[in-house]
Structure formats: C-alpha cells, structure tokens
Structure 1
Amino acid sequence: MSNPSSKPIGLEIDLLETQGGKVPLEYFHKLISQLQKNHSLDHLSASPASAGEFDVVYIILSKGTLYEETETNAYECIIIDGWSCWPAGFAYLLVPPNRRREKANISGGDNGPSDTADIKIALLPIAQTRGFGRFVIRTLLSHAFDALGIRRVTASILCPIQPSHSVAQKKQVGFNTKQLCWIFEKFGFKFEGISRGALMSMSVVEGEEPVWHDVHRMSMLITDYFQEKRSLSLSAMRSFSREFPLKVVQQSPWEIMIQRQEKEKHDVESWSKRPNDASANDACGNDGEASDDETVLGGDEISEK
C-alpha cells in the first residue's frame, strides 16, 4: 500500500539559486516559457515573477530526458544530485508580509494584512496524474502551517474564458477550473465562492478591450490542516490493522474441557437447590397492615346495619 505522503518515483524538487537551491534563474524563465506555450499558466491568478525574496518557490523536476517530436530537445535538462532531470512545473507559496519581516528579523508592529499565505502550482500536461503536484502541495502546506505557523492558506484559481472561445471551449475551460477546485478540496481546502471579473487577462492585445476573469477562491485554516492530518493518521492505522489483523489465540482441548465441566457443575448446583416454602399467609398476611380487602372495602369505615 502506497503512502500518500511518500515521494513519487522520479520526482525531484529544488529551490531557485536565489533561495539557496540549485536551479538557475534563467532555467526557471525557460520553464515559464514552456508552461505558457502549453497554456499551463492560464489558471494562475498571479505571475510567478511576483514571488518575493522570502517566498518559497519549488521547481518540480522529473528524472530522465524528455524529447518532443517537433524539436530536438524542448525540455532542457539540469543535473540535480547526480540525476539528469527535465522541468515538469513549479509551485510557490506567497508568504504574508508579517512573516517576511519575522524572517528578516525586522522589529516593529504587525501592519501587514491578515496572517494568510497563497499557494499556486503549474504543471506541464505530460507531468500530470503522476502524483507530483499532490506531493509538492503537501510539502508547501507543511511549511506554511508547521514551520511558519500561518493561520490560513488560500488558493485562487482563475477561470480564463475568452470572448473568442466557442461554446464548447468555454464549457471545457469551466470544467478544468472546477476540476482544479476539486483537487484542492481533496487536500482539505474549502470553497469560499467566486469573485466575478476580479482579474484582468494577461493576454490582452494592445488596443483591444480588456477581459476580466472570474476567480474561484479556496482556503484552508490551520485547524482544517491538523484535522486532515489526524484523519490521514487514523486511516493509515485502520489500513494497517486490516492488512495485519490481530491473531486470535486458540484454546487447548484441556482448557475447553475444563470450561465445559465448570458450566455443567454450575447447572447441576442450580437444579438441586430446593425452593423456599411459601404460604398464602406469606402473600396475604401483613401483621397489622391493612389488607387489600380492607383497602377496597373501606375497612372499619363501613358499619353493618
């Protein structure tokens, strides 16, 4: 049985060099171009370029070399811990300003917004359904709640419908948006609602009217996170008990015989006991107490004529 928190086969994640990792910044820009070409950034409500110095940006890598039919090598490889890897996507956590100040050891009051971080992820289509995104999201959530103690994490999912889309295309885009929301719900996120026309499209051609997209809002509280961890732990314990049930110790024939003899002895003793003799006086006589007849007939209150 696979552990949902275990690292998928072939996955490598690392930070940018600017954050102490091994992935060069120019390599990250090439990955962004590849994701844009595959429309894998359409659902992001903010560009990864907005990630700051104290935000966490994980580059998702897959071991091996990947080639496209139309190009010699569309996915540039990078060596990580001796492995040749190709870029599969990225995920990042936008840390709230008050947490950035704490990490920078800057004193002063908390004048920033509420204690909320935002999580975003983008994967190439060829890297999806392999468990990469699930593992990275769990890693970022653990960093937000366990390491930083952040109270709330949000996930904002853009619905990138364009006026030029056909009816079928609009339905497909809407379905993909709901599917992304459903994926976050599996992690314990709750659906908060839809902000209509909240963000302007980044693909607007100069001179044309701007297009405003709806944003689906998801969120997870720290209480939701620990409740989800507790549920996963209980589920793992139940699975373990089903896989390795407790063995029932069988009784020996001598123990069974002794128990049967004890039961038969108890039955014989109960049969041989003589019941106590009872008389009508025991049931009706009450030694000075009023009988039922006296109660019904009224006792001394009724005089003979």
Structure 2
Amino acid sequence: MTASPVLSVRKLTKLFGDRTRPEAVNVGVRGVSFDVEGGEVVGLIGESGCGKTTLGRCVVGLQKPDDGHIVINDTDLASLSPARMRTFRKAVQIVFQRPETCLNPRMSVFTFVKQAMRNFDTVPRGHERARMIELAQLVGLKEEALDRFPHQLSGGERQRVAIMRALACEPSLIVLDEPTSALDVSVQAQVLRTLKDLQREVGTSFLFISHDVAVVRYICSRVMVMYLGVIVEEGPSEIVLGHPVHPYTQALLAAAPRITPKPGPHPSLKGELVLADVGPGECPVRARCPMAHERCRTAPPVTQLPEGHRVACWLAADAATDGPISIQTPSKKVPQ
C-alpha cells in the first residue's frame, strides 16, 4: 500500500478580475492538478505573471480558490472551519521572496520564532531556546543571531530566520516563493546549500517556486512548467530541463543566460503573457508559439511520455503516436 501524497491539488482555479469590467480577467490559476510526495522537492517555473505565486498562496491558505480541491495529509482545506484552519496551518508553511517583509522589526529572532512554537505547541515551554539552537545550526545561523533584531542581520541571515521559523512549526510541506531571488549570488548559493541539506536531514517536502532555471535544476527532483495559469509540461528535472518537449519550455530555457551559448537556432516567443489573447478551448501558448498549427485552436491533450514525463502539446501527442519527431522545425504558422 502506497502512502498518500503530502499535497494533492485537483482542478484548482483562482482568477482575478475587475468588477467594473467583468470581461477583463487577469492571469491566475486555471484547472491545475498535481501531487507532491513525502520528502519530494518539486519546482514550479514560468514567466513572471504566469500564476506561480497565486498557486503557492492558495496552497497555504492565504488566498481562497474559486474552485478545485487542495488536500494536505488527507485533509481537504475547503472542509475546515476557520478555527480548525488556524490549527491546521502548522502542516504547511511559506517562505516569502523578501524576508524583511515577514519578520517583525520589533522582535528579536528568538521572540519571533518562539511565537511560532507557542502558536502550535511544538515545544514544551521553557525548552524553546534549546530547540531554537538546534534549528539555528540546521539553517546555518550562529547562536548569537537569536538575540538580534532583523535590521542587525544580513539578507541571507534574514532568509535563514524565515526558513527557521517555518521549520519551527514542524510542517509537512514548505512553499518557497522565490526564496533566493532578492539575495546576492554568493548568498544565494549558501541558502540553496542550506535548503538542500535541510531537505536531506529533515525530509520535509518543498514546493519551490522560481523563475531561475539553474536554481530549480540544482535543488528540485521534479519540475512543473506553468504558462498562463496551466501546467504545460512536468516530469523529472533532468528530463524536462535537459530534453524539453513543449515549445514554451524550450523557449524558456533558451532565454536563460549561458556562459557558452548553444549553437544553432533557438526557439523564441513573441509578445507578452495576455490571457485575453487565448481563445475559448484553444492551446494557451498558441498566440505566441513559433510552432503553432491550425489544430492548436483546440486545446491539446496531456500526453504521458516515459519516466513520468507529461506534456500538454500536440507535438508530444504526435511523438507518443508516431515516434520521435523534430520539434525544432516550425510547422505552418497560424494567422494571429
């Protein structure tokens, strides 16, 4: 008997609109489904504005979905009353992009983290200091940092405090929303090593949201690629990032800076992320895809490829039916 996933998301939808203009719907999350297993690190990548953060905020309960189900440890969040939701929050925590916005400037690190421990009764009273020293060692902080205030810490130390606070709640899942993007490159490397060591030692599941492909490649075992609120490709990191099938994933990886550029032509996308450009029932990438075909006016099926690789693209459906095809040769372009 296999264990249930730590996180199970089914047909999650969250859209944002303008009350004065009902037809103006902004990008959110549109019918997303996926699982995160125990001890797994899953990456979520895509352009800015594609819905990554909205998905993360829905998972931790900071935003209420319009539709769908979020199940954590076999508990559906939609079934919880506000009182039970407060208690249940210890199961899933979030680390934000900018730690200075979530740390209380009037509290020392010790007081701030102790408050989290008290909220969820994770440590007996009087034993908080000992437990906090253990957590500080886990995240690479010195003990003297516990008595400092946020303004006395560096950016990397503040992010470590945010991670330490999340761990103090003893969660099953931590959502990391761009946890290194606001840090210097050298500090990024330190925090990433800390996260990788933590995951190995503690075994907590991570949902790692980022636009940095190199970071996701380093820390994640599985990756999902999001475009306009839907998952267009997912699978093991070495497959999706090493041998992408979806034209959007290819273009995303081609845009990442490289010391030595790859030879030959690179797929590219024109224009911006605009949900209004997507017609009813069509592939969301069609308006920008260099390989768009007339059949892309119908949404492609999700094709299951070997080794857990899933792609929502007609090219993948062709590959599964007829064998490997060249996806670098543009097909007939659809009139825009």
TM-score (norm 1): 0.25
Higher relative contact order (CA 8 A, sep 6+): 2
Structure label with greater radius of gyration: 1
TM, length-normalised to structure 2: 0.23
